A and B are shown apart, each in its own frame.
Chain A
């Protein structure tokens, strides 16, 4: 009898350690479905609102602050030619495939405004590759001139350079931590050297247990 119990116990241990093999499933989200919240890193729930907020702020300020324009439309609206030179990740997390999406979202959102004319990414990439230019060195007039020359050869002159930067700040409390994400858009007028900066931030708490949220934020 004891032997039977022993066998049973050993078997049970093995069985408890295993489970069932499941196939993977997927479903299409409805428009009003909320984004999944990344448990270890920022995801759609972080980047989308950050982009929306920073772009909206940028467009709002650009109406009044920026004076250099290339030309005006038939209606008299000033149009600014913008060269968007990429998203720089200075946060402590890799952003993975979101890097491309963040670029495209910002590019499309600003491009929808009547006051901005975004130069196609393909021209910008080709020109940057040609002159071996990293985004961060484009504050130097010499590099700006090289890029301008390369883009002008493709008949794509620009007045502004748009930089996007992601940064983060982490606050730890034992095993839990809070990470503040900041998306900064900086529009640099290459003629005057003046820049217009707008940013949006979002805070996220990461916890090892459900109680972590309650303990730190009282939710």
Chain B
């Protein structure tokens, strides 16, 4: 090769390298930018500015490398809360279909995940998130007339029924394993299924408008108590639903979404990391080659908060001229507790995947040294070990989650006469003292039907009730 040709080749290499660097930098910058937009969206949401949240999520979705499905769900929620229930519902339905497709395991992604981390796999919602999407679809539909609310609530109840069957099957297996011939105890509902209480509540409400479906309404109301961890439904349900009310009366449901669901953070699996460290040391001392030392700990994802604690509730009151009728809301679902229970349930699985990934990585480094004939403590050995350590350190736990779900859902009902009624909503402390400004809402109450008032208490202003249009 002539010196000139050599220079040209070298120049090509350099420009190629430059382009590659620019590509990598722009990709990283793109991801950061998407993350920044998402942070802006969260901040706007936390302050109750849902429209600004929608705008920021629009910008995030345009960035390359962003988690499109995740953003789509958050976007749909923000849109629904900003008053565009119809669009929110459409987006949520489309996102759900896409997520159902992505829920299936993909060979390519799973293989990639072995060499990188769990974030290489397309995001799919955790079970409690998926159930919440179903319930939000019912709510979104009810917000703009409820045309599809029957279908959505029936779909949600199918999942609820499957959950019941899986709980029963697990209990039966447990009894078989323990050779327990006694009558099955009452099933204990894990917190991760608590969203089912909301699904059952909405199903009861939707069906209660048909007197013919009274048995179905009763069944769903029993399901609310069951999924609300066996509580008495009379605590939660302060008025009859739909046709359960007196003649010429209807039910006003106030559904308050409190706060924002817990974020997830990395957690170091200390015993696993220690076990891997020991295993690595044994392998290094007994094998022909060393494996990269376990500098990067094994990390898994866990929710920041274990439960939602709010001291503020929503009180609904209606003045009938002679006296004031009022009821105070009760928490139906604690999504932080659901998230934490979901973490506890999947913890072992997360660790197992992380360990399998480490084994593959360490074995790959060992195999590379073996095939290259790298001598112990040689320069190349150190370089390969450093590379292996960096490879392991790049792993990130899968902390992806729907950010704009509420932390808690509270419900309260009031039976009021038909017609245009003025109801007052007050954020109150646990002792009943007023915590924030009263909101007055005009509700059109129809005979034997339900009217819905959906409120949001933004995380930064928990004493402020925002009533969705």
Contacts and interface: CB of A to CB of B under 8 A. Distances in A.
Interface in B108-125: 109-111, 113-114
B464 to A, nearest CB: 37
A20 B211 contact: no
A120 B209 CA distance: 18
A19 B211 contact: no
Contacts of B105: 17-19, 21
B356 A13 contact: yes
- Which of A13, A22, A86, A89: most chain B Cβ within 10 A? A86
B175 to A, nearest CB: 12
Interface residues of B, number: 44
Given A7-B363, A97-B154, A1 B370 contact: yes
Interface string A14-30: 11011111111000000
A104 to B, nearest CB: 12
Contacts of A97: 151, 154
Contacts of B370: 1, 3-4
A89 B215 contact: yes
A11 B364 CA distance: 10
Contact of A21 (B102, B114, B214, B289): B102
Contacts of A175: 172
Interface stretch (B9-17, B126-134, B157-165, B326-334): B157-165
Contact of A99 (B213, B243, B289): B213
Interface in B176-225: 209-216, 219
Interface in B329-388: 356, 359-360, 363-364, 366-367, 370-371
Contacts of B216: 89, 99
B155 to A, nearest CB: 9
Contacts, number: 117
Contacts of A1: 370
Contact of A132 (B157, B165, B246, B289): B246
B247 interface: yes
A108 interface: no
B211 A11 contact: no
B211 A96 contact: no
A124 B110 CA distance: 56
Nearest to A100: B150
B394 interface: no
B214 A14 contact: no
A94 B161 contact: yes
Contacts of A18: 105-107, 109-111
Interface in B9-60: none
Contact of B157 (A85, A88, A96, A134): A96
Contact of A11 (B210, B289, B360, B371): B360
Which has the most chain A C-beta neighbours within 10 Å: B212, B244, B356, B448?
B212
A129 interface: yes
B171 interface: no
Given A40-B165, A94-B219, A85 B212 contact: yes
A94 B211 contact: no
A114 interface: no
Contact of B107 (A15, A124, A134): A15
A10 B359 contact: yes
B247 A131 contact: yes
Nearest to B207: A99
Contacts of A6: 359, 363, 366-367
Per DSSP, are chain A's interface residues mostly helix, strand or loop, or mixed? mixed
A105 B214 CA distance: 20
B249 to A, nearest CB: 9
Given A7-B363, A11-B360, A96-B154, A132 B448 contact: yes
A52 interface: no
A205 B246 CA distance: 44
B114 A135 contact: no
A125 interface: yes
Interface string A94-136: 1011010001000000000000000000001100111111111
Interface in A48-96: 85-90, 94, 96
Contact of B212 (A13, A17, A94, A135): A135
A86 B243 CA distance: 15
Contacts of A23: 101
Central interface residue in A6, A15, A40, A175, by most chain B CB within 10 Å = A6
A97 B113 CA distance: 40
23 contacts: A1-B370, A3-B289, A3-B363, A7-B363, A10-B114, A15-B110, A18-B107, A19-B107, A20-B106, A20-B107, A21-B101, A21-B105, A85-B212, A86-B212, A89-B219, A96-B158, A97-B154, A129-B243, A131-B247, A132-B243, A132-B244, A134-B211, A134-B214
Closest 9 CB pairs of A and B: A86-B212, A18-B110, A128-B211, A3-B366, A18-B105, A7-B363, A3-B367, A134-B214, A129-B448
Interface of B: 101-102, 104-107, 109-111, 113-114, 151, 154, 157-158, 161, 165, 172, 209-216, 219, 243-247, 289, 356, 359-360, 363-364, 366-367, 370-371, 447-448
Given A10-B359, A130-B448, 5 more contacts: A3-B366, A14-B356, A40-B165, A125-B211, A135-B214
